[in-house]
Copies of this chain bind each other. A is one copy, B any other.
Amino acid sequence: MGTRNPGQRAGLTRGAVLAAANELLAERGLAALTMRAVATRLDVAPNALYSHVANKTALLDEVLDERLALVTEPDPDGDPAAGLHAVMTSTRAVLLDRPDLVPLYLARQGARGPHAQRLGEVMLGLMDRAGVTGGDAREALRVLIVYTIGFAALGTGGPLAADETARSFDRGLRWLLTGIIPG
């Protein structure tokens, strides 16, 4: 019953592999996210995954970017500072649901996937409407991203409780936004 069917198609797809990886990550953490574990969950031999994913790094890259798809986009015509505030807050919340992921973003020096790119463009658009452009905008973008990812990384543990951490995040974020968009 549960035994694998030698030489038979299991109907494995790239999406199924990704989904299994995500489930594993949510249920048992990053350390448990091994190729073998993903394969076991899909009732498949470990190397079968390599028909759909180049290697583990590539798999993680996709898990990473897929996560960012959950960030809610702000109203592009609303108040720019409020929009930026909303994006960063949402990003932090999304990352906080998978704390193990965050060190990976940093080890990879940030995300480069399509969803990450889209978010960056949205934020640049908001800044543009607030009169922050060119190099200044890119610098500010970097500051906001670093701050948010950093807080997601350090946000779960530590001596402060969750809501206190959320308040700290919010205060610092406002300080930054005030600096970026004065008045």
Q: Are B175 and A171 in contact (CB under 8 A)?
A: no
- Bound-state CA distance A175–B172 (Å) is 9
Does any Cβ of B come within 8 Å of A164's Cβ? yes
Q: What is the copy number of this chain in the assembly?
A: 2
Q: Is the interface of A mostly helix, strand, loop or mixed?
A: helix
Pick from A20-28, A46-54, A68-76, A154-162 the stretch touching chain B: A154-162
Q: Which of A106, A107, A110, A169 has the most CB of B within 10 A?
A: A106
Rounded to whole Å, the gap between the CB of A172 and the closest CB of chain B is 4
Q: Which of A103, A172, A176 lies at the interface centre, i.e. has the most chain B CB atoms within 10 A of its CB?
A: A172
Q: Contact at A143–B168, with CB atoms within 8 Å?
A: yes
A9 within 8 A of B: no
